[in-house]
Amino acid sequence: MLSTRTALRRAGTVAALAAAGVLTAAGVAFAHVTVHPDSYAKGATDGVLTFRVPNEEDTADTTKVQVFLPTDHPVLGVLVTPQDGWTAKVTTTRLKTPVKTDDGTITDVVSQITWSGGRIRSGEYQDFDVAFGQLPDDTDQLGFKTLQTYSDGKVVRWIEETQKGAEEPENPAPVLKLTAGAAGDGSAPMTASPSEPKATAKASSSDSTARGLGIAGLVAGVLGLVAAGVAIARGRSVRSS
């Protein structure tokens, strides 16, 4: 028969290992470059997209971030918000097919934004805000391929497309979903995450998978405590008989 102390130690070990596994898996999700909010109405106007870039390296800093905007479904009227310590370079591309708007015909759009000069250290993230004049209304989502360069020369390419019904790729590109709604209202869904300043804690995420993993960790911990309680009760029963 296991002693009460041994049972508690084993139960505690099981709970700790389960929690560690959950935190490791959640950390992988947090490490992705993401765009916030994750959805807007098709044709929305006068809004802001926030690209959240966490540092996933322990021994190197992020020193450059390159975000590529789609030109097949262009984002119009792009403006970059100044970021302390960072310099933004905007690259434009001439459209094959000009876009007609109420303000005139658009022939050139922003196709790339490069931030450099700053540093995102281990355990930190940086939000990069981009204002837009109008989102396209002829597609269901926009992918923003992103390159993340570290101080040791490593480049992480967040460029893989997430296929519907398939597992998320290792380096997914940030994706903005475009939903049916009143075009031009400039509003995001109520569930949209607001932009936050740089923090030294792990980057927060609205990813449902991360939340599910957190719940699984709590369940594992509770099961461990229940197992310990059962072991204690059995030990007391044996001593009293």
Joined together, the tokens standing for residue 199 give 């923090």
pLDDT at position 23:
38
pLDDT at position 228:
52
Residues 6+ apart with CB under 8 A from 165: none
Q: Within 10 A of 122 (CB to CB), how many other CB atoms are there?
A: 14
pLDDT at position 168:
83
Give pLDDT tens digits along the chain (241 positions): 445 555 545 545 544 444 444 434 444 445 799 999 999 999 999 999 999 999 999 999 999 999 999 999 999 999 999 999 999 999 999 999 999 988 899 999 999 999 999 999 999 999 999 999 999 999 999 999 999 999 999 999 999 997 777 788 999 999 999 999 754 454 554 334 444 444 433 444 444 444 454 555 544 554 555 555 555 555 555 455 5
pLDDT at position 102:
87
C-alpha 207 chain-centroid distance: 7
pLDDT at position 166:
73
* Phi and psi angles of residue 163, each rounded to the nearest 5 degrees, phi first: -85, 140
Q: Give the closest residue to 45 by CA, choosing from 71, 72, 77.
A: 77
Distance of alpha carbon 9 from alpha carbon 4, whole angstroms: 9
pLDDT at position 213:
47
Burial of 96 (0-12, 13-18, 19+ CB in 10 A): exposed
Distance of alpha carbon 24 from alpha carbon 35, whole angstroms: 22
pLDDT at position 103:
85
User: The whole model's pTM is what?
Assistant: 0.68
